[in-house]
Amino acid sequence: MGKLLQNILSYGFGVAMLASSASAFADDTFDLLGQYETVEAMGSGWNLGNTLEANSNGTPSETVWGNPQASSALMKLIKNSGFNTIRIPVSYLSKIGSAPDYKIDAAWLSRVKEVVDMALAEDLYVITNIHGDGYHGVTGGWLLCDAQNQTEIKAKFKAVWQQIATTFKDYDEHLIFESMNEVFDGTYEWQNPGVPYPNAGYYQNINDYNQIFVETVRPISLNNAKRWLLIPGWNTDIDLTSEAKGFKIPEDKYVDRSTSGKRLMISVHYYAPWDLCGDDTDEGVTRWGDEAWRQNSSKCTTYGQGANSESTMSGQFDKLKSWFTSQGYPVVVGEYGTVDKTSYDAENSKYTAYWTKTLCENARRVGAVPVLWDNGHLSTAKGFATINRATNTVGRTYIVDAINEAFDQEIEIDTTAAKTKLELITSYIVNLSVDGAKENPIFKCQYSGWDEISKEISNTAKNVDVDLSPASKKDGFTNLGYLVYTNDSLYSVNINKITINGYEFTNPIVKKKLSAAQYNNALPNIWSGNDGEYLSDNGKAILSISANSISLMLKLDGESSSVEEVDSIAANIVPVDGGIAVLGAEGETVEVYSMLGTIVSKTVATDFVTSVKLHDGAYIVKVGNKTYRVIVR
């Protein structure tokens, strides 16, 4: 039976159809789209926020937080606005019965199913989860990783997912289950400096929840054995959803063996910088981006230039590629967005649209699905909404337009496998010399937005080691770069050597004139080079420098690209993930030929770093009038 006919019949039978175990969207055919096919099909997404997860004193109620009931008309609007995916957060809380069965209230589960069916009727991909049950601040919250009764919690979690997965057991690939939402112990690292964070035992409970989720859902039906399942880490925080911090991807031992590749996705959220994105009370922070900082930094985040930088955002998405999408795990940015601050600053719409577009472009670049958070509030007070649900019209059109603009572009997903591994930076020493400074410059390095190291250097310093190591051993590769402060209008700094975690980098180290007046005495960085390009390779590791961030990339044995000819090292041709980078060739023509003489790439180097994307193989690289043989593997 065709789906159009099925949809018509489902509305014709009304409640009687919903009450039955059969479904209008049960499907004998399950389209096994691969990783990147699925991401492309899901496109951009939208959250039905503050609706099915809304509650009053722990009792879920769809309209209690001020939004109307979800409707077919709303789903049609979402689809027609350009979204291909909808995330439907659901709280169960008091709708769950007592042990040992933990039976979900039938009417509530039926309503969840009804809303899911409305979305599927518009050919939307649907993500649904257990949402507010893991919040410490919600009455009746029970999915708490720091609670003592973990045996009871895990039994309840299993029982609830068993019922949800059974209800939707025959639905096709358009339905995706997400295990939970923003589960953590309710504390933040800055609240307890010096204490290991996250708590390892609590994180293990979150890993256990995810393992239970996968092992419960998979065996229930053949379609569930094929379905994409969405896995979050600690508070869906990008930096904390890493193996180094304690995150473990579940073992998927019951996945259907007819599938090729993995069938688990990774869930993260993005609201950075928070004083722009989520703090509606901060009237002064209304703009974002490199241009905004140059024009009027007083209207940008108070967390510093690095937090405002476009390279910081791209660096976060680079981590998602390195850790997950390049390893076969799609990523869903299940929530992102900005509150409406146009009442404070008429230009806010311009800059939040740019933030939104840039995020979506980064998501597309690394193979992730961005799902916009919408809580239904079209006002400055917590106003995350883009859709006016009372009138079923688009409210903040500039946000929807920005998303569609990002998805209308031709952006190729970078599918190259990772040949390097991001390393935690725990030791960071810079050897430098200062020339021409009238006063002592101060080098300042900021890690993860909290740690900050400052060192004053003599204005006559020569070959001095400056220790800028992170005090609490945080994720140094998220460091926002170091700044230089001085009252001088012009001076120079020569970086002789950088030693990170014992790895020494001496070539190429860049000399650059610094003009303090140009940046109001806050210089962005002393390095030259394009954002995200690799600048130094010592054979065992690669030092990556951007305008505001530094990363250490360890090479994986037998997998990294290589430059074979000795002469090419002299020419500063270095291997990078997905090709090569030619360094210090400004003004020269860079040509790449296959071994058969076919030209592959030709460009004039305009910056210190010229990147060339290449597939594995042997090439001839011509830089100016010199020629080198290069192997990429």
What is the Cα–Cα distance from 127 to 388, expressed in whole angstroms?
21
Segment 373-405, tens digit of pLDDT: 999 998 766 789 999 999 999 999 999 999 999
Q: Which one of 366, 386, 409 terminates a domain?
A: 409
pLDDT digits (tens, 9 = 90+) for 253-296: 899 877 878 999 999 999 999 999 999 888 899 999 999 999 99
The domain of 569 spans 561-633
Cα 396-398-399 angle, rounded to 5 deg = 75
| pLDDT band (50, 70, 90) for residue 199 | very high
When divided into structural domains, the chain yields a total of 4
Confidence of residue 41 (pLDDT cuts 50, 70, 90): very high
Give yes or no for residue 483 having a pLDDT over 70: no
Whether the predicted pLDDT of 522 surpasses 60:
no
Rounded-to-10 torsion of CA 580, 510, 541, 499:
180
Q: What is the CA radius of gyration of the chain?
A: 26
Domain's final residue, options 533, 556, 579: 556
Q: Which residues form the catalytic set?
A: 182, 335
* Across 81-90, 467-476, 515-524, least confident range: 515-524
Residue 148: is its pLDDT beyond 50? yes
pLDDT given at position 531: 35
Q: What percent of the chain has pLDDT over 90?
A: 50
For residue 24, being part of any structural domain is answered with no
Instruction: Flag whether 306 is in a domain.
Output: yes
Whether residue 242 is contained in a domain is answered as no
Q: Is the pLDDT of residue 574 over 80?
A: no
- Give the pLDDT score at 568: 35
What tokens does 475 get?
């994720």
Q: 493 vs 78, 97, 122, 465, 467, CA distance in Å?
A: 53, 67, 60, 13, 16
Helix, strand and coil in the chain, % to nearest 5:
30, 25, 45
pLDDT of residue 484: 53
Same-domain pairing of 178 and 221 = yes
Q: In this predicted structure, what is the pLDDT of residue 398?
A: 97
Residue 499 has pLDDT above 70, yes or no: yes
Query: Is 11 a domain residue?
Result: no
* DSSP state, residue 191: G
pLDDT tens track for 349-375: 999 999 999 999 999 999 999 999 999
What distance, in Å, lies between the first and last C-alpha atoms of the chain? 49
Domain membership of residue 245 (yes or no) is no
Share of the chain above pLDDT 70, in %: 75
Residues 537 and 429 in one domain: yes
- Do 630 and 593 reside in the same domain of the chain? yes
Q: What is the pLDDT of residue 64?
A: 97
Local confidence band at 241 (pLDDT 50, 70, 90 cut-offs):
very high
pLDDT band at 623 (very low <50, low <70, confident <90, very high): confident
pLDDT of 482 higher than 70:
no
In tens, the pLDDT along 163-194 reads 999 999 999 999 999 999 999 999 998 888 87
Q: Is residue 10 part of a domain?
A: no
Q: Are residues 145 and 71 in the same domain?
A: yes
Mean of the pLDDT values across residues 446-466? Answer: 75
Q: Look up the CATH number of the domain holding residue 628.
A: 2.60.40
Helix and strand totals (H; E) in the chain: 14, 31
Query: In the 3-class helix/strand/coil scheme, how is 444-493 assigned residue by residue?
Result: EEEECCCEEEEEECCCCCCCEEEECCCCCCCCHHHCCCEEEECCCCCEEE
Three-state DSSP class for 117? helix
What band does 414 get if pLDDT is binned at 50, 70 and 90? Answer: low
Q: pLDDT band for position 443 (50/70/90)?
A: confident
The pLDDT of residue 552: 67
Q: Per-residue pLDDT for 479 more than 70?
A: no
The pLDDT, as a whole number, for residue 501 is 80
Do 42 and 78 lie in a common domain?
Answer: yes
Q: Are residues 45 and 193 in the same domain?
A: yes
What's the mean per-residue pLDDT of the chain? 81
Taking only the tens place, the pLDDT of each residue in 319-335 is 899 889 988 999 999 99
The contacts of residue 198 (CB under 8 Å, 6+ apart) are: 184, 185, 234, 240, 245, 246
| pLDDT above 60 for 511 | no
Kindly state whether residues 133 and 73 are assigned to the same domain.
Answer: yes
- Is the pLDDT at 15 greater than 90, yes or no? no
- Alpha-carbon distance 577 to 530, whole Å? 15
Q: Which of 556, 585, 606 is the last residue of a domain?
A: 556
Place of tokens 């044995």: 557
Q: Is residue 74 part of a domain?
A: yes
Q: Kindly give the pairing relationship between strand 451-456 and strand 464-467.
A: unpaired
Residue 600 scores a pLDDT above 60? yes
Token digits of residue 552: 């250490």
332, 230 Cβ separation under 8 angstroms: yes
Residue 510 has pLDDT above 60, yes or no: no
- Could you tell me which residue, 212 or 420, shows the higher pLDDT? 212
Predicted local confidence at residue 108, as pLDDT: 98
pLDDT band at 438 (very low <50, low <70, confident <90, very high): confident
**pLDDT higher than threshold 90 for residue 504:** no
Among 85-94, 322-331, 619-628, whose mean pLDDT is lowest?
Answer: 619-628
pLDDT-derived band at 514 (thresholds 50, 70, 90) equals: very low
Residues 99 and 178 in one domain: yes
What CATH number is associated with residue 330?
3.20.20.80
State residue 540's pLDDT score: 73
207 has a pLDDT exceeding 90 = yes
Q: Environment class of residue 507 by beta-carbon count within 10 Å: exposed (0-12), middle (13-18) or buried (19+)?
A: middle
